[in-house]
Amino acid sequence: MPLILADVKPLPAEHRPGILTEALGRVLAEDLIAPLAVPGDDNSAMDGYAVNSADGTGPLLVTQRITAGSCGSELSSGTAARIFTGAPIPAGADAVVMQENCVLDDQSVRLTKAVGCGENIRRRGQDIAEGEVLFNAGRRLQAQDLGVLASLGFAAVPLRRRLKAAILSTGDELVEPGEGPLRTGQIYNSNRYTLRGLLERLGIEVVDLGMVKDTAKATAQALQRAAAMADCVISSGGVSVGEADHVTAQVQKLGELRLWKLRIKPGKPLAFGRVGETPFFGLPGNPSAVFVTFCLVVRPWLLRRMGVTDETLLRLPASADFQTKRAGTREEYLRVRAVVENGQLLAKPHHNQSSGVLSSVSRSNALAIVPPGRTIEHGDRVEILLLDQL
Ligand code: AMP
Ligand code: MG
């Protein structure tokens, strides 16, 4: 897909910082440096007694009590401090003995075994060092990243603005779910929901133009409206060569068709270009093809435009639990279940690989790649793309 990805520039950075509670899935606009160390102090990993390991097993007079959130005073030789998890280690102590290894006798504590210097102490900066690069620009923030940022006191972070994608579903046969029973020949619009979901999971704002009739006029109007409202336009259906397929002709009139038809299966009729200056993806109508082309072509483009630098779908080697009869001329993406059996990762294909069978995607967790010109025997190594990240 080099042509499609060739000159995609990341969105400009948004100067309004995004508050942390709204930053999930958003893209960092700048490298972030840790302004402090985490943890900020050496602290106790246990409930127990802070001691000086040179004092041996005691008995040691317990002279202070340090809870999480408080701080003690310097420990003199021959004494111990009662201490709790997360509480700072007082000066003069170099180890914490877990309470299970202590016997308390009046005001003193005796250790049932000697403790080594540094034991049960969580060192200052062991999680994150001050000045460390926490995340590079281009990271899409995960839930655990928000936790890391919070642990450093960030209340807001510099984010790129959200990308806006306009979607439209072409087809006279389409009926919206909820809009009455189907007449013969009609089908419910499913692509709209697959696409919306895939886009929303990427943190993209969806401008949904709904359904578009199969006429040149309706197609042109919808494309123009969509292009004016978003950073890119994604349509489904109408990109083949039938009389009811108007999308490519209208894109040529309103902008430019840069690419049409890919050597992949499913997804051959995919179109790419621009409507006015707005980038345009014309996905096929067949629901499985919509999913596959989105993953392979649209998603990488969107991520690049969003400024994301570190996300590609994980490719894993798996053993084919199938065989193919003859070699194809296109790179094929089989909908498979990746399962581990007897310690081996197997790719088990869905029984119906037709591009119209959407349940094949829904019941799979990976795509197995069969290169053109190759036949696959049982047990051959194939690469799979895990879909869990989507
Ligand atoms: P097309 O490329 O428009 O000829 O569509 C190819 C196939 O995909 C046809 O069987 C269409 O009915 C079907 N299709 C097109 N759009 C949708 C949609 N939004 N939801 C479900 N199926 C669709
Ligand atoms: Mg159609």
Structure confidence at residue 3 (pLDDT): 85
The share of the chain scoring above pLDDT 90, in percent, equals: 93
pLDDT at 14 over 80: no
Whole-angstrom distance, CA of residue 40 vs CA of residue 32: 18
Backbone angles phi, psi at 80, to 5 degrees: -135, 160
CA-nearest residue for atom 11, ligand 1, is 285
Structure confidence at residue 313 (pLDDT): 84
Kindly state the helix (H) or strand (E) to which residue 61 belongs, with its residue range. Answer: strand 60-66
pLDDT at 246 over 80: yes
pLDDT band of residue 20 (cuts 50, 70, 90) is very high
Q: Residue 80: beta bridge partners?
A: 62
Q: Quick one: CA torsion of 222, 219, 390, 371, rounded to 10 degrees? A: -160
- CA of 289, closest atom in ligand 1: 8
Ligand 1 pocket test: pick from 191, 214, 215, 357 the residue with the most ligand atoms within 8 Å of its Cβ. Answer: 191
pLDDT at 156 over 70: yes
Residue with the larger pLDDT of the pair 245 and 3: 245
CA of 247 to the centre of ligand 2 (A): 10
Q: Is 194 in the pocket of ligand 1 (CB under 6 A)?
A: no
DSSP string over 171-201: -TTEE-TTS-PPPTT-EE--HHHHHHHHHHH
Q: Which two tokens stand for residue 16?
A: 């309004």
Structure confidence at residue 123 (pLDDT): 98
CA of 72 to the centre of ligand 2 (A): 74
pLDDT band of residue 311 (cuts 50, 70, 90) is confident
CA of 147 to the centre of ligand 2 (A): 46
pLDDT at 15 over 70: no
Kindly state the helix (H) or strand (E) to which residue 226 belongs, with its residue range. Answer: helix 216-229
- pLDDT tens for residues 183-236? 999 999 999 999 999 999 999 999 999 999 999 999 999 999 999 999 999 999
CA-nearest residue for atom 23, ligand 1, is 285
Q: Is 190 in the pocket of ligand 1 (CB under 6 A)?
A: yes
- pLDDT tens for residues 258-296? 999 999 999 999 999 999 999 999 999 999 999 999 999
- CA of 214, closest atom in ligand 1: 3
Beta strands in 276-389 (DSSP E): 278-283, 315-320, 331-341, 344-349, 366-370, 381-386
DSSP string over 66-112: E-TT----PPPTTEEEEE-TTPBPPTT--EEEEGGGEEEETTEEEES
CA of 294 to the centre of ligand 1 (A): 15
Whole-angstrom distance, CA of residue 136 vs CA of residue 28: 8
How many Cβ atoms are within 10 Å of 311's Cβ, its own excluded? 17
Q: Is 172 in the pocket of ligand 1 (CB under 6 A)?
A: no
- pLDDT tens for residues 341-376? 999 999 999 999 999 999 999 999 999 999 999 999
CA angle 107, 111, 112 (to 5 degrees): 130
Kindly state the helix (H) or strand (E) to which residue 210 belongs, with its residue range. Answer: strand 205-212
Rounded mean pLDDT, 304-311: 89
Q: Is 250 in the pocket of ligand 1 (CB under 6 A)?
A: no
Whole-angstrom distance, CA of residue 195 vs CA of residue 209: 12
Structure confidence at residue 334 (pLDDT): 98
CA-nearest residue for atom 10, ligand 1, is 286
Work out the mean pLDDT of the chain and round it to a whole number: 95
pLDDT at 388 over 70: yes
CA of 232 to the centre of ligand 2 (A): 21
pTM: 0.92
Q: Is 355 in the pocket of ligand 1 (CB under 6 A)?
A: no
- CA of 169, closest atom in ligand 1: 19
Cβ–Cβ < 8 Å for 10, 127: no
Structure confidence at residue 11 (pLDDT): 85
Q: Which two tokens stand for residue 27?
A: 């893209």
Ligand 1 pocket test: pick from 186, 212, 246, 286 the residue with the most ligand atoms within 8 Å of its Cβ. Answer: 286
Closest CA to 270 of 250, 292, 253, 252: 292
